[in-house]
Amino acid sequence: MSAIDTDHFREQLLDERKRVVAALQNLHDDHPGSLTDESGDETAFDNHILDTATETYDRELDYTLEENSEHVLADIDAALKRIEDGTYGVCTDKGEQIPLERLEARPWATLCIDCQRERERR
Ligand SMILES: [Zn+2]
């Protein structure tokens, strides 16, 4: 059995939930419209976008958020439920323990990195 500090993660999840809800409201209130290509240098748009600090960061993050926020929200709610069920931190695919570093970075993770990558490949 693991000794995951579920109180700690519950707090993180509730915090993140507030942020996601606020972000969604913000996006829906003030939709940025179509993304115009000003820089002409967007070939490197990929999963590393969150790691790059460019002037287009905020705008692209908005789009990433809009696409992902509702999924994240569902994932957060599911994670909160799993904390109650006592199954939090277990990979829902193969049932192995999700590494704590991953939960710290992404408290709503339902899959270990390997299973996540497999799923994203589909
Ligand atoms: Zn797994």
Per-residue pLDDT tens digits for 33-89: 545 444 444 444 544 444 444 545 565 656 566 667 888 899 999 999 999 999 999
CA of 39 to the centre of ligand 1 (A): 39
Please give the helix or strand (H or E) that residue 58 lies within, else none.
Answer: helix 57-85
pLDDT value at residue 115 = 94
**pLDDT interval class at 28 (50, 70, 90):** confident
Please state the pTM of the whole predicted model.
0.64
C-alpha 51 to ligand 1 mean position (Å)? 25
Q: Return the structure tokens found at 3.
A: 């000794």
Q: Which of 99, 97, 49, 103 is nearest to 76 (CA)?
A: 103
